[in-house]
Amino acid sequence: MPEIPELEAIRDFCNGHITGLTILSVEVRIPTVVRTAAQELRDTLPGDSFGVVLRHGKFLLFPLASERVLVINPMLTGRFQYLDHGARRHARTCIVVAFEGGRDLRYVDERVMGKVYLVAADQLAAIPNWATNGPDLLDPALDEERWLAGMKRYRGQIKAILTNAEFVQGIGNAYSDEILWEAGINPYTPKTALTEDDLRRLHRAAREVMAWATPLVRERMVKGDVLDYEERRDFMRVHRLGGQPCPRCGTTISEITANQRITSFCRTCQPGGPSVGFRRE
């Protein structure tokens, strides 16, 4: 699932390559992902151009000169490519936006779970859950005090809270493991068992992990003027590294699979949590 580092890298790339380019054509090859009429994209986007691309939580926003916004939530398997028009297309290429200069921006989605909207710039609140979701993790206004205030609404295990978009947007399964390891907090710890100092440390760890991971992601997905994104997270320190030594203390990393979600953590650096044994998918 693309999370903040991946989406930030895509956003940065797009701002260096597609901002201001005229759209020549739009092909909707798999209309399932489009929540607006696919014909509207085909008919009204050609001749328009993108402004500065933005990110909000797990949404990428492509503002248009026509005062509309193309909004894409890639969900679990959505990927973006920027390639020559003649480059081979992935079988699950859903949308192809062709630009002057012979390049395409492509949206590829292996499980066809993503959601694409075309809305007026002042109608973003019409997107489902837009108005009810919490702040973006990197919003400057989300300081430690606001983080603590938001936490008061939630109970349950801390990892589930971190990945709840109603609390904070942009954190998914992978980076929540990294954040909790950085903070030294067991993912299964009830929020009520954490101190204020723990929660403040968690806020700092969340920002630090995103700042650390984003340039590493960018190195892996951008090759010159080509964006051909395949998810490679070989820099992760704990996520999906069950059975390997913790890079901090050397203890074998534990990995628990529940509800089709893998949680990886170090029982020494992150004490507490369940007493079940190591299990790997």
Answer yes or no: 2 catalytic: yes
CB atoms under 10 Å from CB of 26, counted, come to 20
CA distance 107 to 104: 10
Count Cβ atoms within 10 A of the Cβ of residue 209 and give its class: 0-12 exposed, 13-18 middle, 19 or more buried: buried
Answer yes or no: 58 catalytic: yes
Nearest to 62 by CA among 124, 1, 2, 4: 124
Answer yes or no: 5 catalytic: no
Q: Which amino acid is at 168?
A: V
Q: Ramachandran region of residue 274, left (φ > 0), alpha (ψ -120 to 50) or beta?
A: beta
Among the options 58, 79, 159, 237, which is catalytic?
58
Among the options 3, 6, 182, 255, which is catalytic?
3
What does 70-87 look like in DSSP terms, one character per residue?
EEEE-TTTEEEEEEETTS
Answer yes or no: 115 catalytic: no
Among the options 2, 5, 63, 135, which is catalytic?
2
Can you count the helices (H) and strands (E) in the chain?
6, 12
In the chain, alpha helices (H): 4-17, 38-44, 144-151, 158-162, 173-183, 196-221
Q: Ramachandran region of residue 108, left (φ > 0), alpha (ψ -120 to 50) or beta?
A: beta
Nearest to 222 by CA among 16, 22, 78: 16
> Can you tell me which residue has the tokens 């070989």?
234
Return the active site residues: 2-3, 58, 261
